[in-house]
Structure 1
Amino acid sequence: MDPRHSIFPEWLRKSLDGLYLASGYLAGVFLVAIFLIMLALSAGRPLGIDVPAGDDFAAWCMAATAFLALAHTFRSAELIRMGLVIDRFTGWRRRLIEIACTAIGATAVSYFAWYAVEMTWVSWRFNDVSMGVIAVPLWIPQLGMSVGLSVLAISFVDELLHVLFGGTPRYEKPPANTADEIIERVMESGV
């Protein structure tokens, strides 16, 4: 099967890829928000300007950035992957291990997503608020984690179905073909 081939109709494939990309862009928006908050905190200090709960908002933005970026990072084959064992196998054995690993990953991420969504729901239901300088309903900052984990769970299930139906894993970069590619990957990894 062509690695770009999808078992889903084209409109669904585009929608899923768009969801992963949108989640990545949203993570970028929160990253810019962290920058702006930290800039306001740093520049405000010498000017005597206080940014109430700035540290809290920066921390919540950081959590949202981390969780919202997961699915896009996974689908872009940039998530850290330990291939020490699986890279030793080829053929049907490797495919079976890929399916098992992806199924375990999908199960674990779905479990965490379920409980993150439940935690956010409970916070909303009981009107939990933060204990900082500014009382913020906790479900608002918890949304970043819940949405990020939910999108990651969708991407894992998407990938599991893709591998189950004969596709090559899209979460893994193809082997480097030239010396330049090897050098570029080593430089990207910071080794």
Structure 2
Amino acid sequence: MRKALDALYNGAAGLAALFLVGLLAMVVLSIVSRQLHFHVPGTDAYAGYLMAASGFLALAHTLKRGEHIRVTLILGALTGPWKKGLELWALGFASALTAMFAYYCCRLAWQSHSFHDISTSSDATALWIPQLGMAVGAVILAIAFVDELVLEITGKRVPYSSAEALRNE
């Protein structure tokens, strides 16, 4: 199961990277088209769709690497069962919150598909297509939070300490 979950997180991160390359292509195409005096409709909209999809798809991978921003002031002062209790509460709350968020992201994409909702910009894209990247990313993030919660409950969670806090500028 661990290999499958890690492959899911890494696959989502790879897809996010691919979407970032697509975002770069849209920006370059937009710049080149302006310089050469022709217009490619929808480049701004597609750049936005690709940026949103890459951001959401990278969330789980970032979480699993311990790179999300955490406020650890209280957690650092606690020890023993209090620290474990606060970690469990935070991961449980985050799991519930991301599960609800994932549900509503999926519901939004489904409703956009059902209502044949299209973009109001010049590209007139069916909105469920870009919303799918957000929904898939939110679902994978919810899975990652539940994974972290289970690891914390079973005592297998590796605590990450960011070296960023040690740098003082």
TM-score when normalising by structure 1: 0.83
The residue number in structure 1 matching 2:160 is 173
The residue number in structure 2 matching 1:84 is 73
Deviation per CA, 1:118-177, whole angstroms, max 9, x where unpaired? 010111111111111121111000011100000000000111111111223x4x4247xx
* Residues 190 and 77 of structure 1, relative CA distance in 2, 3 Å threshold: farther
One-letter code of the match for 2:2? R
Q: Select the residue among 6, 9, 27 that pairs with 1:20.
A: 9
- Structure 2 spans left out of the alignment, 5+ residues: none
The residue number in structure 2 matching 1:98 is 87
Aligned residues: 169
* Residues 19 and 190 of structure 1, relative CA distance in 2, 3 Å threshold: farther
Percent of paired sites with the same residue:
37
Deviation per CA, 1:19-42, whole angstroms, max 9, x where unpaired? 001111111111111111000111
Matching of residue 61 in structure 1 with residue 50 in structure 2: yes
Q: What is the Cα deviation at residue 49 of structure 1? A: 2.2
Structure 2 Cα separation of the partners of residues 53 and 27 of structure 1: 20
Q: After superposition, where does 1:122-137 map in structure 2 within 5 Å?
A: 122-137=111-126
Q: Select the residue among 44, 56, 71 that pairs with 2:60.
A: 71
Structure 1 Cα separation of the partners of residues 28 and 38 of structure 2: 12
Structure 2 Cα separation of the partners of residues 26 and 97 of structure 1: 33
The residue number in structure 1 matching 2:106 is 117
One-letter code of the match for 2:139? S
SS of equivalent to 1:85: helix
Retained in 1: the 8 A contact 2:45–2:123? Answer: no
RMSD: 1.7
Q: Select the residue among 102, 127, 151 that pairs with 1:162.
A: 151
Matching of residue 40 in structure 1 with residue 29 in structure 2: yes
Q: What is the Cα deviation at residue 52 of structure 1? A: 0.5
The list of structure 1 runs, each at least 4 consecutive aligned residues, that deviate by more than 3 angstroms after superposition, is none
- Structure 1 spans left out of the alignment, 5+ residues: 1-11, 176-181
* Residues 80 and 92 of structure 1, relative CA distance in 2, 3 Å threshold: same
Matching of residue 147 in structure 1 with residue 149 in structure 2: no
Deviation per CA, 1:35-85, whole angstroms, max 9, x where unpaired? 110001111111012111111000111111111110000001111111111
Structure 2 Cα separation of the partners of residues 97 and 154 of structure 1: 20
TM-score when normalising by structure 2: 0.94
